[in-house]
Amino acid sequence: MDLEALGTCKAFAGLTEDELDSIVAVADRLEVPEGGEIFAEGSEGESLYVILGGAVELRRSGQVVAELGPGDFFGEMSLFNRYIRVAGAVATAEARLLGFRRQRLQPLILRHQPAAVKVVQRLGAMTVERLQRVGESLSAHVADEDPALAGALDEYRQLKQRLVAGWALAYHSIGKPGKLEIASTKPSATAADLSVAYSPGVAEPSLAIRDDVDAAYTYTGKGQLVGVVSNGTAVLGLGSIGAAAAKPVMEGKAVLFKRFADIDAFDLEIDETDPGRFVDIVVALAPTFGGINLEDIRAPECFDIEAECQRRLDIPVMHDDQHGTAIIAGAALRNALELVGKDIGEVRVAFAGAGAAGFATAKFLLVLGVAREHLVLSDADGVVYAGRGDCNYLEELAADTGARTLADAVDGADVFIGVSAGGVLRPAMLRSMAPDPIVFALANPTPEIDPALARETRPDVVMATGRSDHPNQVNNVLAFPYIFRGALDVRTREINREMKLAACEAIAALAREPVTAEAGYDGVGLAFGRRYLIPKPFDRRLLPAVAGAVAEAALRSGVARVGLHLGEYREGLRRLAHL
């Protein structure tokens, strides 16, 4: 009976009878009378519960926050870390429960027991999805001018951060640690297979490559392989944490390459902060790869490192922190300007943040048509103005302006782009902006201004952030997998301006298309407008749209080394995207 009831719980669905037996063997069976307390709000969590029969309410501060029945589960975050229950649980009808204590499940997880690993992975994924749905719902209500929910939203985000932190550690450690493994693409079951995969047969492709280095694209995985390379000097919002600590992030980048563009990627964490030696190492490793994605390298070193790698290598090299952000922000800006009826050559743009992402985005906006005299950068020292004496890369974009503070720069501006720190854009600054202000507050995890506060301050604002729980997420994953897909498929020597512009325009154009079933996710209610400026990351149409445009731009601009039929290529990309 327990097995049948347990199988109705989504976290346990699909397990074999033997797997369910192994899980039930470590469970506690509980019968709770109507009105009985299962655990109290504020108590320390130690068990996950699955309801076999009856009904349970979760209550917070006396208010019912969830009504649960057979097949539902609750208390799952106790499996990932020690935390204080944020709600109490009470049986509203006599309840039969299975309780799974952390200390009894953890030994199974550490031994990689298949059923335990599967269950915990599912529970974590389902919990994060549930947290995201609640966050999106609260954000939508706040955006719909229900300011009373703003406090609840802030409290919820703090709770979510704590819960996700625990799951993130469990996610990376359960089962096989990390996120990557190597899989063979050729048979290797017999001695005959291995005699070709390795000695003596492997000598033949080696000799072919000796005679023609480009044969590596035919006989090895080089043409489908990207190196994700970092020295850990500017990792996410964590700063300079070192090469080893950067590995989870670089592994994650490799996962995104595979998930969205079917590109294999190796993460390479290089323990070297000297730019010249770092470049020498990357160049020495380059024969392994069809392309190099530089990642999380601090400014200003990142500019010289990218330029020197590009100069010395004949494969595509891109520092994604610079160009990925620039391309997505550019696509979002194009569409935002169309919505508010402003010309890109006339708008005034103020930046907060002049590091790798800010500087590269500013330069890209000039390529898109923003007038040089209408663009002002600022950093922690104020406005980057001509004569400030920076004596570095900032001199290139130093403005001839009397503005000295961010408030000065924002006053009367049409566009604010923040790639700096949370809270730097004050409501008074936003009020000083031109009608229909466009605000891209991209700092993570705390934007330069909270979207709810921004809309309360200026109901006419067009808003984007770097967060997934708000509309219009400016996320590099919309660009880099597809740029490299197109670049690899035509074997480009570089990723040039034309290819970046093509990616930007393809992303912007896709957001103007109706969100159909082809997108591959529930896009009900999404339509081009202030809350939908750029596609969602899981839009399957991005692969053929962006990679196809990038490959075409490479062919037209003369940096491709192999030709292809663009129509057939796009059809192949559609099949790859399961369209």
As given in the structure block, the two tokens for residue 106 are 């953890």
CB atoms within 10 A of CB 312: 13
pLDDT more than 90, % of the chain: 68
Kindly indicate the confidence band of residue 135, based on its pLDDT and cuts at 50, 70 and 90.
low
pLDDT score for 110: 60
Closest CA to 174 of 230, 100, 124: 124
Task: Taking residues 279-307, report their average pLDDT.
Answer: 97
As given in the structure block, the two tokens for residue 79 are 């499996």
Between 59 and 313, the more confident residue is 313
Dist CA 148 CA 130 (whole Å): 22
Burial 9-36 (b: 16+ CB within 10 A, else e): bebbeebeeebbebbbebbeebebeeee
Task: Taking residues 554-577, report their average pLDDT.
Answer: 96
Between 515 and 175, the more confident residue is 515
- Start-end ranges of CATH 3.40.50.720 in the chain? 323-465
pLDDT score for 248: 95
Condensed to tens digits (0 to 9), the pLDDT of residues 537-554 reads 999 999 999 999 999 999
Condensed to tens digits (0 to 9), the pLDDT of residues 326-341 reads 999 999 999 999 999 9
Condensed to tens digits (0 to 9), the pLDDT of residues 165-221 reads 777 777 787 778 899 989 999 999 999 989 999 999 999 999 999 999 999 999 999
Kindly indicate the confidence band of residue 149, based on its pLDDT and cuts at 50, 70 and 90.
low
Task: Taking residues 80-104, report their average pLDDT.
Answer: 83
Q: Is the pLDDT of residue 153 over 60?
A: no
Q: Is the pLDDT of residue 148 over 60?
A: no
Kindly indicate the confidence band of residue 432, based on its pLDDT and cuts at 50, 70 and 90.
very high
Task: Taking residues 38-44, report their average pLDDT.
Answer: 88
Task: Taking residues 509-534, report their average pLDDT.
Answer: 91
Dist CA 170 CA 164 (whole Å): 10
| CB 36 within 8 Å of CB 77 | no
| Side-chain half-sphere CA neighbours of 10 within 13 A | 12
Kindly indicate the confidence band of residue 18, based on its pLDDT and cuts at 50, 70 and 90.
confident
Domain with residues 201-315, CATH architecture:
3-Layer(aba) Sandwich (3.40)
pLDDT score for 7: 65
Strands 291-294, 317-319: pairing is parallel
CB atoms within 10 A of CB 204: 11
Dist CA 350 CA 406 (whole Å): 8
H/E stretch holding 98? strand 88-101
Dist CA 129 CA 10 (whole Å): 13
Dist CA 475 CA 486 (whole Å): 19
Dist CA 543 CA 547 (whole Å): 6
The residues that bridge with 555 in the sheet, in sequence order, are none
Q: Is 273 left (phi over 0), alpha (psi -120 to 50) or beta?
A: alpha
- Start-end ranges of CATH 3.40.50.10380 in the chain? 201-315
Active site residue ranges: 198, 253
Dist CA 142 CA 94 (whole Å): 38
Provide the CATH topology of domain 2-173: Jelly Rolls (2.60.120)
CA–CA distances in Å: residue 459 to residues 218, 304, 321, 467: 57, 42, 31, 20
As given in the structure block, the two tokens for residue 1 are 């009976």
User: Could you give the angle at the alpha carbon of 154 between the alpha carbons of 153 and 158, nearest 5°?
Assistant: 115
Closest CA to 473 of 543, 518, 540, 535: 535
In single-letter form, the type of residue at position 378 comes to S
Helix (H, G, I), strand (E, B) or coil at 227: strand
Q: Is the pLDDT of residue 137 over 80?
A: no
Task: Taking residues 285-312, report their average pLDDT.
Answer: 97
As given in the structure block, the two tokens for residue 531 are 């809350």
Rounded to 5 degrees, φ, ψ at 504 are -60, -45
Dist CA 415 CA 352 (whole Å): 11
As given in the structure block, the two tokens for residue 157 are 């985000």
| CB 116 within 8 Å of CB 175 | no
- DSSP structure class, residue 45: P
pLDDT score for 152: 54
| CB 23 within 8 Å of CB 115 | yes
Q: What is the mean pLDDT of the chain?
A: 89
Q: Residue written as tokens 């921004």?
A: 454
As given in the structure block, the two tokens for residue 278 are 């770092």
DSSP string, 13-39: TT--HHHHHHHHTTPEEEEE-TT-EEE
| CB 352 within 8 Å of CB 406 | yes
| CATH code, 323-465 | 3.40.50.720
H/E stretch holding 50? strand 47-60
Dist CA 273 CA 271 (whole Å): 7
Kindly indicate the confidence band of residue 77, based on its pLDDT and cuts at 50, 70 and 90.
confident
| CB 464 within 8 Å of CB 480 | no
Q: Is the pLDDT of residue 138 over 70?
A: no
Dist CA 74 CA 159 (whole Å): 16
pTM of the model: 0.84
| CB 105 within 8 Å of CB 26 | yes
pLDDT score for 255: 96
Q: Is the pLDDT of residue 119 over 90?
A: no
Q: Is the pLDDT of residue 359 over 80?
A: yes
As given in the structure block, the two tokens for residue 40 are 């109290």
Helix (H, G, I), strand (E, B) or coil at 38: strand
| CB 463 within 8 Å of CB 358 | no
Q: Is the pLDDT of residue 136 over 70?
A: no
As given in the structure block, the two tokens for residue 86 are 């944020």
Helix intervals (H) in 464-527: 480-489, 497-511
Q: Return the top range by mean pLDDT from 72-81, 452-461, 519-528.
A: 452-461
Condensed to tens digits (0 to 9), the pLDDT of residues 479-513 reads 999 999 999 999 999 999 999 999 999 999 999 99
Task: Taking residues 122-146, report their average pLDDT.
Answer: 62
pLDDT score for 94: 93
Closest CA to 101 of 50, 142, 164: 50
Q: Is the pLDDT of residue 4 over 90?
A: no
CA–CA distances in Å: residue 401 to residues 404, 414, 418, 426: 8, 17, 19, 22
Q: Is 101 left (phi over 0), alpha (psi -120 to 50) or beta?
A: beta
